[in-house]
Amino acid sequence: MNTNNNPKDIETSINNMYSLYEKIKHIIHKDNNEYNSFSLTLFSLEFDDIETNYSTYLEISKEILSFIIENKPKKVRLFNFEKDKIIIFAPGSVVEGQKFFKKVLNKYTNLSDIFVDKNIVLKINKSEVEWPRDGDNFDQLLSKLVDKLNENNCNDLASKFNIHPDNIIINKSGKYLNNVKKKSTQLYLIAKNNNLEIIKQNIIAEKSFQIRGGGPGNFELFYILDGKISYAESEKILNAGDSITAKCGKEKKYFKTLTEVTLLYITSNPIFASEQKRINELIALNNKIAETDHETNQHCNRLQILSRLTAEEMDLEEKRIFNLGFASFLHDIGKVEVPTPLLQKPEKLTEEEWKIMKRHTEWGKEIILDHFNSEHFDKIAEIIYQHHERYNGKGYPQGLKGNQILIEARILSVVDAYDAMIYERPYQKALTRKATLAEIKSEKGKQFCPDVVDAFLKAEKTYQQRNNNI
């Protein structure tokens, strides 16, 4: 690494690290399913948050580069720069990195509290690299990682670092400034200029999404590049070439993808960084549950699909279906607060343990309200809070009865019970489809709302037919 502080050298160093990071990301994200227990800690600093200008950015970059050089033999080793983000790779402890960042920020900004103190723990795919599992072996981990990277001829490096903002920048197809992915949606930041962001977005079929138009003075354009979207309010079908424009509005409008859709999304209110943060937080929360509980991502995905189909049978408004989908995916998020031995206990829980376990509904509500500060998430939090209520009033946490329970929660409770019975769990063999449906029917009017059971039976049939199971 060059220790010279002239901008050209900094650019080269930054580019090298940026490439390295892209390669690491490639390895980390290659397989979302198989992880081992080793993790690297990443944390990020959003340059957007400190409204840095180009020269400040270079100053900060210089400081960071010298920090890396100075600290070479120390623990915090690998750093990466993106246009508006720094990511630090560190072993378990990030204290050194944190101290350093606070120092730099205090020097360059008036904001003392801007440091993003969020640790995102990424899991590494064991099949890719034999990671050291314990002990103080971060160096070993890094050298293995670097060896692996050298072998790996990754072709998907991100576009060149945008170090000369006034120049023409050509992004070859498939190269983006940044991207964030979850199962249902991928966002690719194509271009950014001050507040203006141009994003390519892919959304899977049968997914609701909402458009409001952002804050005051904001303007948004969604141009459909591929696929079909329905607009519930006017029963319009939108195709490739159609577009939706939106300005700040009081109400969100709900759309649903009928096929897989690709959009060009242009907004005058930058959303990429916050969306990326939100999605990463969700993924981290979800991984946390998957780590300790039998409930897997697949379980959450199935619940989301079946809840939607049932809600559609009941003609629920698109807005409510959207909330239900979200709540279905995160319904047991509160279990992150339940001690792991309790979650994994194969024997029956004691009364005292059961009391703790039941609190996951309340904790789930709190987590959602803590993480997502909007009135729309209040509804989602409430559905999660009520997902163990029973139609006959014998559920928890409040013992609500009949229509006192939100319709979304009544749907989720049937779908959750169905999925728990029909798929094998560590402590319980799977029931046949016939036996599962018989069980659901026998609880109609008792544990479950009768109308929901009727709708669910039709929805379940559609679901099975779609999956070619019947």
| Site of interaction with Fe ion (CB under 5 A) | 332
Q: How many CA atoms lie within 13 A of 389 on its CB side?
A: 25
In this complex, which beta carbon is closest to Fe ion, that of residue 332 or of residue 389? 332
Contact 191, 159 (CB under 8 A): no
Q: How far apart are CA 228 and CA 205, in angstroms?
A: 9
- Residue 332 CB, shortest distance to Fe ion, in Å, is 4
Closest CA to 358 of 386, 381, 330, 383: 386
- Residue 336 CB, shortest distance to Fe ion, in Å, is 12
In this complex, which beta carbon is closest to Fe ion, that of residue 227 or of residue 364? 364
In this complex, which beta carbon is closest to Fe ion, that of residue 332 or of residue 408? 332
- Residue 393 CB, shortest distance to Fe ion, in Å, is 18
In this complex, which beta carbon is closest to Fe ion, that of residue 84 or of residue 332? 332
- Residue 362 CB, shortest distance to Fe ion, in Å, is 11
For tokens 């319009």, what's the residue? 236
In this complex, which beta carbon is closest to Fe ion, that of residue 84 or of residue 416? 416
Question: Nearest residue to Fe ion, using CB?
Answer: 332
- Residue 396 CB, shortest distance to Fe ion, in Å, is 10
198-219 burial, b at 16+ Cβ within 10 Å, e below that, comes to bbbbbbeebbbbebbbbeeebe
For tokens 């009949």, what's the residue? 402
- Cβ neighbour number for residue 235 with a 10 Å cutoff: 7
* Through-space distance between the first and last CA atoms of the chain, rounded to whole angstroms: 61
SS3 177: coil
Q: How far apart are CA 388 and CA 405, in angstroms?
A: 10
Exposed/middle/buried for residue 110 (C-beta within 10 Å: 0-12, 13-18, 19+): exposed
Which residues does 295 contact at the CB level (< 8 Å), separation at least 6? Answer: 289, 332, 335
In this complex, which beta carbon is closest to Fe ion, that of residue 84 or of residue 408? 408
In this complex, which beta carbon is closest to Fe ion, that of residue 46 or of residue 362? 362
- Residue 387 CB, shortest distance to Fe ion, in Å, is 6
In this complex, which beta carbon is closest to Fe ion, that of residue 359 or of residue 433? 359
The residues pairing with 428 across neighbouring beta strands, listed in sequence order, are 425
SS3 222: strand
- Residue 102 CB, shortest distance to Fe ion, in Å, is 39
- Residue 279 CB, shortest distance to Fe ion, in Å, is 23
